[in-house]
Structure 1
């Protein structure tokens, strides 16, 4: 029974941590193919030559330890290099309720009972970072002839048990759930007051723009009108058959009979 629980926990961990959170990718505003390529963590790969079979050894996703650094950054890669780190089991969250810009109340630590604004969301570890709260001091840059400097930084908090969302109508903590309005809009609703808890505008912010409306197209950006005009209808035909159909070419030749022994 214990072994079954361990295998179940391992599968649960792999199913949760092998992919990057949607809010993390949304904030990065990077193509999906770039994120997959940057987070592969290839340990060994055969040379690209004719006399070598294509073989690649990748680091399993269950061996990654997600941190406050972005999964495609060099800091994240350096933290996961070298010795094998023990996996961290997390509680899967089906519906994410807290976004960047939300006001939350800290439930643990020295700042218990204080309200703050969420500055960063890390879905891979069920973490949020509250600006100015739950801080700690670190000494950095220590050398033989230099004592280093003290840096103050915020430590992450678990959304499951260490923070609570604040209802903006009365500034008290509440639980929320997703509901639909009469217009079909999906909104967060407070279970205590029944009022709508709007998603902050800063949740739409990415590394490239504050909001979609204020973003101006660059030289290499494809206009939305061109993207919408491109349509593709899948067909059960080969590429050659589609070309022949477009050019009006009719195949009237009868292939010879072939025999396989």
Structure 2
């Protein structure tokens, strides 16, 4: 896969699916599978039987991984989705929001 345009800690906007339009922070990136985990988005419920480690049992709710193509970086200026390009500034490779031209890191 190419250089990571979305990294852990980035603010992203969901482009499609049941959570379309919602924003969240990237908790984990799984580049091998091309997936990201976004806090508060794509929440799934797992019904757990009581066990020794969890004697109460119950329903666990947690964010599931979603395809990286379903999210776009939130523009630092207005929070709307934007694409990302790379530029070299002061001898350092930085990410730049295409929509506003704002530098994302650095």
Asked if TM exceeds 0.5, the reply is yes
Answer yes or no: is 1:112 the counterpart of 2:23.
no
Question: Deviation string for 1:137-166 (max 9, x for gaps)?
Answer: 0011357xx883100011111112x11111
Partner of 2:97: 190
More strand by share: 2
Count of residue correspondences: 103
Partner of 1:257: none
The runs of 5 or more residues in structure 2 that have no matched partner are none
Answer yes or no: is 1:100 the counterpart of 2:100.
no
More helix by share: 1
Normalising by structure 2, we get a TM-score of 0.87
CA RMSD of aligned residues (A): 1.8
Greater Rg by CA? 1
Answer yes or no: is 1:173 the counterpart of 2:72.
no
Normalising by structure 1, we get a TM-score of 0.37
**Stretches of 4+ aligned residues off by more than 4 angstroms:** none
What pairs with 1:34-183 in structure 2 (closer than 5 Å)? 93-142=1-50, 148-160=57-69, 162-181=70-89, 183=90
Shift of 1:116: 0.3
